[in-house]
Amino acid sequence: MHTELLPVSPESIARGGELIRAGRLVAFPTETVYGLGANALDAEAVKSIFEAKGRPGDNPLIVHISALEQLSPLIEGEPSPAARALMDACWPGPMTLIFPKSALVPAEVTAGLDTVAVRFPAHPAARALIDAAGLPIAAPSANRSGRPSPTEAAHVLEDMDGRIPLILDGGGCQVGLESTVIDMTGGTPRILRPGGVTPAQIEAICGGVSVDDAVMRPLKEGERPRSPGMKYRHYAPTGDLTIVRGAAEDVIRAIRGLYDAALAAGRSPLILALSGHIADYGDRRTLSLGANETEMARAMFARLRDADALGADALFSEAVPEDGMGLAVMNRLGRAAAFHILEV
Ligand code: TXA
Ligand code: MG
């Protein structure tokens, strides 16, 4: 299959809408990461998402809408007052809410669960594509399963060339990490995946929030997670990744030592560091993650791809504090490292 890469324009959006209506796949930009979209109401189209990604069939997809009225046909019952408050404050935006599903949503989308994840993205191209299709669009991140999520059209092409007919190029993604996934089926909103909307924001909007404890640890043997996505070692670079956490000067000293030992052992090490610390590593090989958590969120997936391209087989990354966007950054970095975190 030939994969077309077209800049976002009224013509390319119209073409994307036609493809979605015809049951085909279209990759498109959102403010978080690029999505791989199909008609959410067409079970066969949705199956082809799993094939193109090599995604395990038990990991459910997010359904994307472009107007609030599109929510109620997808869910059973009415959103709670807390859900309404979150929708008012954070939609359109980097937030996904989980509701009991209606019969309209095929089991292929929800991987057989009786709940459905819904997001109203802010990116104008994403909304225009949903409008052009005239349908809700089921979309996971547009990477091959196990690869870092794509934050540029070139990343999508790397993973999906020959597998899908169209990639819409809308430039780099603003947030850079996937949406916050919040389970609204219980009393208090529960964060299953941290993202662009932070726990403090949610707390301020609905007066309460909990963070699933599996967000910052590996799953136990045989444990059934609340979100199937927690099971998989996502965002994995090819090399071994170790995260080092502690006071800045201790972290820098420890990483220098680890790097030098890896080099002496004949390995090909690489350091991922905040921009302000790069000089402290001297002539060791480094990649900058940016100046703070927000920049780190935007840069992280691209740098993990770079690390692979450089052939690094021993990666050492600085940690950031787990508040604000830092929780989402550390969740992704932690999972890329299989939660191999060294405290210094
Ligand atoms: O920002 C995003 O959310 C991006 C863009 C494209 O919108 N999408 C994305 O989709 O990250 P994906 O498929 O890579 O991640 C969806 C996550 C998975 O961890 C999945 O397990 C969880 O949402 N999920 C989906 N439906 C669920 C449900 N009904 N219950 C629990 N978790 C669910
Ligand atoms: Mg993903």
Residues 208-241 have pLDDT tens digits of 999 998 888 888 878 888 887 777 666 777 889 9
Determine the distance separating the centroid of ligand 2 and the alpha carbon of 195, expressed in angstroms.
Answer: 12
The per-residue pLDDT for 25 is 98
Residue 328 Cα, ligand 1 centroid: separation in angstroms?
14
Quote the ligand 1 centre to 269 CA distance (angstroms): 32
Residue 201 has pLDDT above 90, yes or no: yes
pLDDT band of residue 146 (cuts 50, 70, 90) is: confident
User: How far away, in angstroms, is 151 Cα from ligand 2 center?
Assistant: 12
pLDDT value at position 152? 98
Q: Is the Cβ–Cβ distance between 303 and 323 less than 8 Å?
A: no
* Nearest-CA residue for atom 13 of ligand 1: 140
Percent of the chain whose predicted confidence (pLDDT) is above 70: 99
Residue with tokens 């989980």: 98
* Residue 24 neighbours by CB under 8 Å, 6+ apart: 38, 45, 48, 164, 165, 166
Considering every ligand atom, which ligand is closest to the CA of 144? 2
As for ligand 1, residues whose beta carbon falls within 6 Å of it are 30, 32-33, 35, 59-62, 96, 98, 110, 113, 115-117, 119, 121, 139-141, 178-179, 181, 192-193, 227-229
Checking if the pLDDT of 184 tops 90, the result is: yes
Q: Which ligand has an atom closest to residue 195 CA?
A: 1
Which ligand 1 atom is at minimum distance from the Cα of 142? 6
Q: How far is CA 64 from the centre of its chain?
A: 14
Q: Residue 126 — pLDDT band, cuts 50, 70, 90?
A: very high
pLDDT, average across residues 31-38: 98
CA of 248 from ligand 2 middle (Å) equals: 31
pLDDT at 216: 82
Q: Which ligand approaches the C-alpha of residue 183 most closely? A: 1
How remote is the CA of residue 267 from the centroid of ligand 1, in Å? 36
Q: Which two tokens stand for residue 256?
A: 């220098």
Residue with CA nearest ligand 1 atom 10: 140
Angle, vertex CA 171, rays to CA 142 and CA 272, nearest 5: 75
pLDDT digits (tens, 9 = 90+) for 35-86: 999 999 999 999 999 999 999 889 999 999 999 999 999 999 999 999 999 9
Q: What is the pLDDT of residues 280-307, one digit of tens each?
A: 999 999 999 999 999 999 999 999 999 9
Strands 137-138, 35-39: pairing is antiparallel
Name the closest-CA residue to atom 21, ligand 1: 229
Distance 152 CA to ligand 2 centre (A): 14
Measuring from atom 17 of ligand 1, which residue has the nearest CA?
229
Task: State in Å, rounded, how far the first CA of the chain is from the last one.
Answer: 50
192 pLDDT more than 80: yes
Could you identify the residue written with the tokens 């050492």? Answer: 316
**What mean pLDDT value characterizes the chain?**
95
CA angle 180, 184, 186 (to 5 degrees): 135
Q: Which ligand is nearest to the CA of 63?
A: 1
What residue's CA is closest to ligand 1, atom 32? Answer: 227
CA count, 13 A, side-chain hemisphere, 299: 16
pTM of the model: 0.96
Q: Which token pair is 84? A: 């309404």
